[in-house]
Structure 1
Amino acid sequence: MSAQAQADLHREAAQPDDPYTLTQSGILEPPVGWAHSLKHLGPGLILSASIVGSGELIVTTTLGATVGFALLWMVIFSTFVKVAVQIELARWCISTGQPALTGYNKVGPHIGRLSWINVLWALMALSKVLQMGGVVGGTALALSILLPLGGDPLGGISLTIWTAVVSLGSIALLYSNSYGRIERGAGILVVLFSFITIGIALGLPFTPYAYSMEDIASGLSLAIPAGAIGAAVAMFGITGVGADELTFYTYWCIEKGYARHVGPNDGSEAWRRRAKGWISVMYKDAFLSWLIYTFGTIAFFIMGAAVLNPQGIVPQGNEMITALSRMYTDTLGEWAGLLFLVGAVVVLGSTLWAAVPSWSRMYVNLLAELGVLRWQDTAARLRWIRIFTVALPLIWGTAYLFMRSPVLMVQIGGVATGIFLLAVVVAVWHLRRTETDPRLYGSGAFNALLVVSSIAIVLLGVYTGLSALKLV
């Protein structure tokens, strides 16, 4: 046996379960068909848990309350148009075993050790501190209204205590960073709130806040009301798959085992067949998550448009939770306020459940690209991930206590996401051209959708950037 072969065997023995290390021992034949693929789905549930949260409950509902049904088409468009880019980035990661920020760092020019895309990612991450602070704050608000501590539920004492509870609770529940635990928790949270909300939205026609098919048709007219462009841009950036979800989906695809089961690329036909098979599983996973968050997003928008808009109620500041609860109390009665508050904790908590481990991985990947650690060092990687699992909820909670405006905080993150989407598209096309095996490319129809998606995202990113600079 050659020295290289012996070294490979020692490396496999040292890290037998690391999904980021592609070895011959990790190879597994892909399932065929939906029935056999179901147990291999899961990354999309984590994605849905993140998406069916701050964007839907806060931004989408607020947009519906502001403009009525007029931007329903934008809701549908924003959830659909980014899926092709998500799949193409995941295709690259499954075929190479590398996570997104490693790929981003291959796109020049570079500033020191980081590519311009990762520098832009770091700037986006700063704005996301506000967005995730808004999620922590929204969760704390719901809990404070449910059980005030120290007086006024919207007062400083109660909100501070519950913000601390949410932050520390997130750390305690997610510190292990077990993929299986994160996936199971995400699935439970998504099911609990999404189907309740979709059911209520479908039941609105039987209440005093009924909507008609004419309302739905008016929302599909491809128009943007005057004064709603900024809100629509933020919604496009944050609803559906945002730039951060596009990025962290790759980590969960790898940790589910898709790349490891494909194995290292030896150029063989067997490798191509396995890669195509596991990419097909990823397609099913992405499709299922798309169904979940699309219908969830539409439900939240319709509830805001049908219930809040006619009453002139627009969620703002710390009164956000109280205003949003009107969607439930005005349709089902006062008892439903309790249902909403519990649901708000679940839906915002689902975002935290997915976001804390996802952002922890991305931050550590960035540090690895800076040379702080070696990404393939499993022990060091997990140690750093746990450091961020502790630090991020504390930082996000502090950001909320400082700013205390969940709607604005989430919208700021949405605008930054819209700008970074442009960079993600550049990275996806670069990695497709330079590293993805051409034998794994999608069908002609998929490639056409990828082009359309990329153009739409680039135009949105350019517009968002110009708007941020006050040039349009």
Structure 2
Amino acid sequence: MSQNVNHTNTAVEQDPYHLTSDGIKDPPKGWGPSFRYLGPGLILSAGIVGSGELIATTTLGAQAGFVLLWLVIFSTFVKVAVQVELARWTLVTGQPALEGFNKVPPKFGRVGWINMLWVVLMLAKYLQLGGIVGGTAIAFSIMMPIGGDPLGFTSTAIWVGIVVAATILLLYSSQYNRIERGAFVSVVIFSFVTILIALGLPFTPFAYDMNDIASGLSLSLPLGVIGAAIAMFGITGVGADEMTYYTYWCLEKGYGRWVGPNDGTEAWKERARGWIKVMYKDAFLSWIIYTFATLAFFIMGAAVLNPQGLVPQGNEMITTLSRMYTDILGGWASFVFLLGAIAALGSTLWATTASFARMYTNFLSIIGIFNWSDAAARMRWFKIFTVVNPILWGIVYLFIQSPVIMVQIGGVMTGIFLLAVVAAVWHLRKTEVDPELYGGSWFNALLIVSSISIVLLGVYTLLNVLGLMPKF
């Protein structure tokens, strides 16, 4: 076993993106000792729970009823192995995902093809994140309208400005601990309330029974909801962008620094295995959180909105979704739902603002704007993007003002980019991960199934976007 090293408080040793032998730490064993080292998955869950669960999943439930329950479960489970495998590479190399993506040939100058596709994904994400900013602003506007109609442009625009300003002020420091704590609070509040209400539906006029659940597990896919189903697959559970930014949070938590630089020794391999197991626990905990939240939102959409023919659309999205609560608990629950919607959508905005700042900054270093190893310059760029991105997302929303469509477009592009992530994972696994550090036989089998499933859905999505699939 390696020995723990006493840390001195120097900038280099504290830089999570710079590995030195002075930063190594022995991994904990078991769930109890490991619990204090979990955290990146909470940020991941915060990014997932808002847009995917509250908007895309509930919309699909409202459109299709229970028939696509199986897809909800499948979409959250099938992508985890790819996420974990990408994070495994990060832990053993100390590098974030975009650095790995750039190693997959072919390259065009300084930039690999996957990072070029990532740029396209980020452009689509401006629509999705614009939808999140808009949805949060609408919830606030309904609670406290400013200047007239709560769904009118004046009140919505003012609240967009307030939401953007608050996001910037709260996240400007870009400190990992603050981001992790904020993610924990927002995820726990809304997920807990929503799961309780979903479990209580059988005791209300919108009761569902085991026949509904059985119909939802029949693996059918009605033609009329294929588009929404594809968007949901891309956006619920861990998507391509979440897989990507999860690697940055694993490093900022300290996993890579605690593993240390690869010196080829058995002590390093043992340390790497130990921290990979901690990362497994972190990923498993986040999967539990967003899977139960996803199921709860879908069931509520299918049980409450679908029978009434209510589907979230345009700026009326929040008021339509609030029917899930008011129709069960009464009018007083609208206020509770609005607070919950703000927590859920705000959690996505919280996590993605910080996460995208890191990915954008990394991309600038890849194209040669600055040196990624320069910690001070890296933090300056983190802060710049923490300011610029929310402002641009707010502007995009004010021009389009259709949160559901904006979020679904981002989901479709995320599904397409999953193809590239799978390609990167297998390339990096083969070229840069010691086979002794691979997962066990069950994990490897799941990785293969996950990869095949993602490729099939990604190809279908791509052909559909290009208009090469038959119109139903």
Q: 1:378 aligns with which of 375, 388, 397?
A: 375
Q: Equivalences for 1:27-426 in 2 at 5 Å?
A: 27-426=24-423
Aligned to 2:5: none
Q: CA RMSD in A?
A: 1.0
- State the TM-score, normalized to the length of structure 1: 0.97
What one-letter code is carried by the residue in structure 1 that aligns with 2:368?
Answer: G
CA distance in 2, matches of 1:376, 1:419: 31
Q: Equivalences for 1:454-469 in 2 at 5 Å?
A: 454-469=451-466
Describe the superposition over 1:243-264 as per-residue Cα deviations: whole angstroms up to 9, x where unpaired: 0000000000000000100001
The alpha-carbon deviation at position 110 of structure 1 amounts to 1.0
Aligned to 2:442: 445
The alpha-carbon deviation at position 438 of structure 1 amounts to 1.4
CA distance in 1, matches of 2:373, 2:101: 17
CA distance in 2, matches of 1:14, 1:51: 32
Aligned to 1:3: none
Instruction: Provide the secondary structure at the position in 2 that maps to 1:61.
Output: helix
Q: Which runs of 5 or more structure 1 residues have no equivalent in the other structure?
A: 1-11
- State the TM-score, normalized to the length of structure 2: 0.97
Aligned to 1:7: none
Describe the superposition over 1:236-288 as per-residue Cα deviations: whole angstroms up to 9, x where unpaired: 00000000000000000000000100001000000000000000000000000
- Indicate the percent of aligned positions where both proteins have the same amino acid: 69
CA distance in 2, matches of 1:341, 1:311: 21
Aligned residues: 462
Describe the superposition over 1:313-366 as per-residue Cα deviations: whole angstroms up to 9, x where unpaired: 000000000000000000001000000000000000000110001000000111
Q: Which runs of 5 or more structure 2 residues have no equivalent in the other structure?
A: 1-8
Instruction: Provide the secondary structure at the position in 2 that maps to 1:259.
Output: helix
Instruction: Provide the secondary structure at the position in 1 that maps to 2:373.
Output: coil
- Going from structure 1 to structure 2, the CA distance change for 1:13 and 1:144 (only over 3 Å counts) comes to closer
Instruction: Provide the secondary structure at the position in 1 that maps to 2:407.
Output: helix
Instruction: Provide the secondary structure at the position in 2 that maps to 1:134.
Output: helix
The alpha-carbon deviation at position 112 of structure 1 amounts to 1.9
What one-letter code is carried by the residue in structure 2 that aligns with 1:202?
Answer: L
Describe the superposition over 1:140-191 as per-residue Cα deviations: whole angstroms up to 9, x where unpaired: 0000000000000001110000000001110000000000000011001110
What one-letter code is carried by the residue in structure 1 that aligns with 2:304?
Answer: V
Structure 1 segments (4+ residues) deviating >4 Å? none
CA distance in 1, matches of 2:149, 2:329: 26
What one-letter code is carried by the residue in structure 2 that aligns with 1:278?
Answer: W
Describe the superposition over 1:59-94 as per-residue Cα deviations: whole angstroms up to 9, x where unpaired: 100000000001000000000000000000000000
CA distance in 1, matches of 2:159, 2:225: 33
Instruction: Provide the secondary structure at the position in 1 that maps to 2:28.
Output: coil
CA distance in 2, matches of 1:387, 1:201: 40
CA distance in 1, matches of 2:299, 2:109: 47
Instruction: Provide the secondary structure at the position in 2 that maps to 1:86.
Output: helix
The alpha-carbon deviation at position 437 of structure 1 amounts to 1.5
Describe the superposition over 1:22-73 as per-residue Cα deviations: whole angstroms up to 9, x where unpaired: 1111100000000000000000000000000101000100000000001000
Describe the superposition over 1:367-398 as per-residue Cα deviations: whole angstroms up to 9, x where unpaired: 11101111111000000110000000000000
The alpha-carbon deviation at position 226 of structure 1 amounts to 2.0
What one-letter code is carried by the residue in structure 2 that aligns with 1:326?
Answer: R
Q: Equivalences for 1:3-14 in 2 at 5 Å?
A: none
The alpha-carbon deviation at position 16 of structure 1 amounts to 2.2
Describe the superposition over 1:177-225 as per-residue Cα deviations: whole angstroms up to 9, x where unpaired: 0000000110011100001000000000000000011000000000001
What one-letter code is carried by the residue in structure 2 that aligns with 1:135?
Answer: I
Q: Equivalences for 1:11-26 in 2 at 5 Å?
A: 15-26=12-23
CA distance in 2, matches of 1:374, 1:246: 24
CA distance in 1, matches of 2:109, 2:405: 34
